[in-house]
Amino acid sequence: MKMVLSEGLKLVLAGMVFGVVGALMLTRLLEGIVYGVSMRDPLIFVSVNVLMFAVSVCACYVPARRAMRMDPMVALRYE
């Protein structure tokens, strides 16, 4: 389970880093469109990342649990 979760969460964390960097780069373009809202609001960035991480953990946990239930010999014979 640890291996499946760690592999999945590595991809999630890499995507989150690229997403935050891309969002920070695009804030200058969006500041002129959205009035009255600071585009560099740290609460928004943190809350979105926490929510995305929680959803990703759930999405990685379900296949990991399913993989733990399967017999390795059955999986090898299937392929």
Residue spans per domain, the chain: 2-78
Q: At what angle do helices 42-69 and 2-30 cross, to 10 degrees?
A: 160
Residue 11: per-residue pLDDT: 93
pTM: 0.72
Measured distance CA(53)–CA(51) in Å, rounded = 5
Tens digit of each residue's pLDDT (9 = 90 or more) over 28-51 = 777 777 776 677 778 888 898 999
Residue 34: per-residue pLDDT: 74
Residue 54 has pLDDT above 90, yes or no: yes
Tens digit of each residue's pLDDT (9 = 90 or more) over 18-31 = 998 988 888 877 77
